[in-house]
Amino acid sequence: MEPLPLPTPPELDEAPERAILAALEATLHLTMATLAADYPEIFETEGLRETEHPFLPAWVADAIASQSRALLDTLETYRHALEVNNRRPAQLPADDFLKNL
């Protein structure tokens, strides 16, 4: 999964949250690249099994990689929703928006 290009000014005008989401996505991709360099075995299979790697940092790295993949998928879904709606996802006052979280 390659990082997407940075949002353009018109895209940011339409949905300003794209800026921080792009930064988060870049951070997740960098995290995955770093983990792949240190623990390539966690990217060669579906993840570690108990008997495959007794080394605790590898287990934690595997969990981080799995959660990073899930968050990247969620960010992709959110980005798609923005494109479909072509507007900000919440046009509610801040108090109402926070109650819906």
State pTM to two decimals.
Answer: 0.70
Neighbouring CB atoms inside 10 A of 52's CB total: 14
Output 70 or 101, whichever has higher pLDDT. 70
pLDDT tens, residue by residue, 50-78 = 555 567 888 888 899 999 999 999 999 99
Distance of alpha carbon 60 from alpha carbon 69, whole angstroms: 14
Q: What angle do CA 81, 10, 68 make, to 5 degrees?
A: 45
- What is the reported pLDDT for 69? 94
Distance of alpha carbon 11 from alpha carbon 25, whole angstroms: 16
- The pLDDT-based confidence of 45 (bands split at 50, 70, 90) is low
- What is the reported pLDDT for 40? 87
- What is the reported pLDDT for 97? 53
Tracing tokens 């949905």 back to the chain, one arrives at 15
> H or E stretch including 3?
none
Which amino acid, residue 14? E
- What is the reported pLDDT for 46? 64
